Structure 1
Amino acid sequence: MKYEIILFDVDDTLLDFGISEKKALHEAFLEFGLPTGAEDYVVGYQEISRGLWRDLEQGLIDLTELGVERFKRLFLKHGLDIHADSFSRAYLGYLGKEIHLMPGAVEVCEKLGGCRLAIITNGFTSVQTARIGGSPLRHTFEHLIASQEAGFQKPDKGIFDYAFSKLKITDKSKALIVGDSLTSDIQGGLNYGMDTCWYNPHQKDNNLGIKPTYEIRKLTDLLGIIGSKQV
């Protein structure tokens, strides 16, 4: 078997973040007396949030600051008198309860029982632990490595050093990272000198010059890679 350790991303790899985000936003806005808030402001929020996540990947902002800053900017833009810190706590609480599996996630993890499986995520530790812990994947992974505890985020080599130390991995050639983000998961794996698998279900164009070892459209396609020789 070529790969013995598989490192999975969480959001939009194992769990559908788009659904989770919209539902959690709705519940948070509802709590703050704006029942149509998610519908009214989701587009603007996502634009702000995506920009801040890019800043996080570049080390320009930390996760705690990101969690509040996105709502500060949103509320300022729309003139909403809502305390961003309180709203962020409410949103993250609801987000931790939103568990929507990506197609094939359970099947793939079950059929990879012969491999060591772990998670490496840039998300909030408490949120990701709650979501995975409440899912059918709860007993699947040796460790859930989150950037918040590691002190580094993908694509920084630091989070991989932390993960490899935690998992006692000494041979990078035996490990594969699987994720949907070219700039986070794939670039991070490349930076660390390990093989990468880009999960690209929506067939997005790759115009970034980032070249994954493998590209798959369905999670179940991963089963054909594990144990196979690199091509």
Structure 2
Amino acid sequence: METTISDIFFDLDHTLWDFEKNSAMAFETILKKHGIPVDIAHFVALYVPINSKYWKLYQDDQVTQEQLRYGRLKDVFDSIGYEISDDVIHLLAEEYIHYLPQYNHLFEGTIELLDYLKPKYKLHIITNGFNQIQFNKLKNSNIDHYFETVTNSENAGFKKPNPQIFHYALEISNSKRETSVMIGDNIEADIEGALNVGIDAIMFNEHNIEVAENIKQVNTLLALKNYL
């Protein structure tokens, strides 16, 4: 990095915490528990893009937290033609939130990277996830002790890429945008959101999607050592 960096802000889901793998395990648990005879692999494959769609709507304040949790499951069941009552969908939505943080697969290199960065920088989290759930993910995966502050959309009152959530994170961490960097997987929420407020950014581009040439990016977490 050209500027001396003092603070690093990480996104959590899809960046450090392997959301897709943990989500699949949570669904396997609750669908089997309730005897719902669907192909779990097919269910999860449909859920991934539908969940992304609803998170984008939530990010843009077009759906509420409750609508996100219900709608993403309803759409999957509709997609596979499985008839299920609203009451059961609401129950599954609650149980999914309960079980999800209990599975704690991290992306390869997460611990090694955090061990490398911790002595050199102050580390923080900025996430659009919900407060208690994100806290449980950090705690149960035993990485909470690496981070000095955790900013989420509930305590900040804004969601990435809204500039206010980044301003809030800088304020509570007593950091300066000029000496901070944001690392995340979402080009709009994490990367453009940070750059728009003057925070440098590096994209964790695991799937090697095409992005503008001026965007710093890595395909593995440990490749961040080349920048930091």
TM-score w.r.t. length of structure 2: 0.89
What secondary structure sits across from 1:3 in the alignment? Answer: coil
Superposition deviation, residue 49 in structure 1: 1.5
Q: Find the counterpart in structure 1 of residue 192 from structure 2.
A: 187
Q: Find the counterpart in structure 2 of residue 225 from structure 1.
A: 227
Write out aligned runs for 1:93-132 (5 A). Answer: 93-113=98-118, 114-132=120-138
Q: Find the counterpart in structure 1 of residue 85 from structure 2.
A: 81
In structure 2, the CA distance between the partners of 1:218 and 1:76, relative to structure 1 (3 Å rule), is: closer
Superposition deviation, residue 40 in structure 1: 4.3
Deviations 1:113-141 (A, max 9, x none): 22100111111222221111012313100
Percent identity (aligned) = 28
Deviations 1:91-121 (A, max 9, x none): 0111011100111111111111221001111
Higher mean Cα deviation, 110-119 or 64-73? 64-73
| CA distance in 1 between partners of 2:115 and 2:66 (Å) | 34
Query: Any runs of at least 4 consecutive aligned residues in structure 1 with deviations exceeding 6 A, and if so which?
Result: none
TM-score w.r.t. length of structure 1: 0.88
| Residue from 197, 202, 208 that aligns with 1:203 | 208
In structure 2, the CA distance between the partners of 1:211 and 1:65, relative to structure 1 (3 Å rule), is: farther
Q: Find the counterpart in structure 2 of residue 66 from structure 1.
A: 68
Superposition deviation, residue 32 in structure 1: 2.2
Q: Find the counterpart in structure 2 of residue 165 from structure 1.
A: 171
Superposition deviation, residue 223 in structure 1: 1.9
Deviations 1:17-52 (A, max 9, x none): 110111111112122221545334223322321211
| CA distance in 1 between partners of 2:52 and 2:206 (Å) | 19
Deviations 1:161-213 (A, max 9, x none): 221121122x211110001111211121122221000111232222xx5943x
In structure 2, the CA distance between the partners of 1:10 and 1:34, relative to structure 1 (3 Å rule), is: same
| Residue from 145, 153, 157 that aligns with 2:159 | 153
Would the aligned equivalents of 1:13 and 1:179 in 2 still touch at CA under 8 Å?
Answer: yes
Deviations 1:42-99 (A, max 9, x none): 2332232121111122222233431222123334553222522221110011101110
| CA distance in 2 between partners of 1:164 and 1:217 (Å) | 27
In structure 2, the CA distance between the partners of 1:34 and 1:82, relative to structure 1 (3 Å rule), is: farther
| CA distance in 1 between partners of 2:194 and 2:145 (Å) | 25
5+ residue gaps, structure 1, are 227-231
Higher mean Cα deviation, 11-20 or 62-71? 62-71
In structure 2, the CA distance between the partners of 1:35 and 1:2, relative to structure 1 (3 Å rule), is: farther
Q: Find the counterpart in structure 1 of residue 25 from structure 2.
A: 23
Counterpart of 2:137, as a letter, is R
